[in-house]
Every structure is written in structure tokens, then in C-alpha cells.
Structure 1
Amino acid sequence: MMIQGSCCCGAVRFELTAPPTMMATCHCTRCRKVGLSTFVFVDRASFRWVEGQDMVESYQPDPPYQFARCFCRRCGTALGEPLSPADDFPIAANCLDSDPGVRNRFHEFVAEKPAWYEICDGAKQFAGHPVRRPSPAPTLALNPYP
């Protein structure tokens, strides 16, 4: 299963050779503002740049935030964290050009969700980060969710 992804202007293109491991939505103010509310986690081994890796810019926010956010330098499309050195990392679901084959598993930071947004699926909801399962080897990504 090959899944294509791209930015709005087409300068950045990538592909996944395997489906994402999960999908989730973050309602924190920061993720909403950078355009990364719904994301999918992908395994590094299944991710491949097709074009435009040199067009990807990274924004590292001030503490307490620890994860950089990437975007296309030309059109500004939020891409997630494809430059992360982690074995698995989030990609903005809005960049996927086709159905990734997974559905939203949970909503996090619903305490920060704006009043005008209604959650209409049956996915679990958490006021902040969901409790993480222990991982045999720590990674920089946030994938070890229940």
C-alpha cells in the first residue's frame, strides 16, 4: 500500500510504503495554531522523500514545548515532524493525498478545544496527554499511546 503526501503548492512530496500506525487529534492551542491538529504516526522505515526535502523548514518553539514543527518554506503547509530523528513520528493528516487506512484513535487536550469545534466521532477524549504505555526504547515521538 503506497500512500502519497504533499504540501499545498506541491514543492514537498513524500510517500509511505506502509499505513500509518495510528491517527489522533490534538486540540492544544499550539497544535491548532501551527495547523497540526490531526496527525498520523508513521514508521521511519516506511517514509520516503519524493521531492522537496530542501523546501522543509523546521520551527523549534520555546520551552516547555520540546517538539519541532515542520512546514513548506514556499506555501507554509504544516507537515508535522518529518525531520525528527525518531523511529516513528507524526505527519499532519492534511498532507496525505489519499485515505491512510486508519481512523482517529483519540482526542487530546480537549480542555483547550475552542467552543466552536464539536467532536463528532466516538474516539476517546483526554483533557491533556493520554497516559502513555511503557516503551522498551524511548523515542522522541509521542507514539506510545494506548
Structure 2
Amino acid sequence: MLLKGSCHCGAVHFEVESPHPYPFNRCYCSVCRKTAGSGGYAINLGAQSESLKVEGREHITVYHAIIDGEISPAERHFCKHCATTLWVWDPRWPELVHPFASAIDTELPIPPERTHLMLAYKPEWVEVDVRGPDTCVYGYPKESIAEWHERLGLVS
């Protein structure tokens, strides 16, 4: 699926091909929550980095989080004018890029279930409804984004 996204002020527009366009994984880690979260979590999608096309790249800046006292190699791209978080790219997995669902302008499919990642880091005010098909994961996901899509027959 071709995903098109932009920042709030319109300085940056991007598109990327995503075999995994379902916004199912809510991350409550302090980095995602504080840099891109709304509702106490952020949602990242999976996409193919070689397909990423950007207009307005000069308006983008990159943040490297400090995790356990170390600078993370992961690059969190955001608009330097309006601070919209756009995507994460990590050189450890160069074939992937993870756009934030909040930056996507294309209609996204409704996921048949959701996972909750890094719940140990969520603030007390955040309520997590785990009724129905949602799966709580307190550490890292038990399956990859690709495995989740395959299990549910959502491979595109």
C-alpha cells in the first residue's frame, strides 16, 4: 500500500510503500510517548525504506534518543518548523522505515487487533482497554510486524 504523509505546517510531504499498513502496535516507551505520543502512546507502521520519497527534506531534522546513557542509532525524523514526528529509521535494520501513523494522510485500514508494547513505561493516567482481541505485551512484541500480518492474513 502506498502511504502518503506530511507534517502539520505542510513543509514536508513524503510517500512510502508499506506491506504492513495496519496501525496495530501502540508503543508506550518514554521515547515514543514523549516525542510522538498522543493518548500516552505512539503508533509506528512498517514500510520499505528504499521506497521513501520526500519533498521538503531541508525542513527535516533528526533526533537520536539517549537510552540507558547511550545515544541510540535510530533516527527520529521530524519537521523543524512544526515538530511533527514523521518516521523512524534505524541503521541496524536499513531496509525498514517506520512512519508514525499520526503523520499519514492516506486512509489506513482498521486493524483486527492491537498490541500494547512497553506497558511498564506508560503513565498512570493512561487507560489501556484490553477487552476483545487486543494483546498486552509488556516487553518487546512476541512476533514481528510481518509475522502479525501473516498470522492475520493481512499480507499485501
Match in the other structure for 1:62: 66
Distance change >3 Å, CA 17–CA 118, structure 1 → 2: same
Match in the other structure for 1:123: 134
1:115 and 1:48 mapped to 2: Cα distance?
38
Moved over 6 A (4+): none
Residue identity in the other structure for 1:93: A
Residue identity in the other structure for 1:114: P
2:59 and 2:142 mapped to 1: Cα distance?
35
Bigger proportion of residues as helix: 2
1:71 and 1:46 mapped to 2: Cα distance?
18
- C-alpha contact 1:80 1:91 (8 A) present in aligned 2: yes
* Residue 102 of structure 1: how far off its partner (Å): 5.3
Match of 1:75 among 78, 82, 103: 82
Please, what TM-score do these two structures have when normalized by structure 2? 0.72
1:101 and 1:144 mapped to 2: Cα distance?
16
Please, what TM-score do these two structures have when normalized by structure 1? 0.76
- Unmatched tracts of structure 2, length 5 or more: 149-156
- CA-atom RMSD, angstroms? 2.5
- Unmatched tracts of structure 1, length 5 or more: 134-142
Aligned length: 135
State the secondary structure of the residue aligned to 1:9: coil
* Residue 95 of structure 1: how far off its partner (Å): 0.3
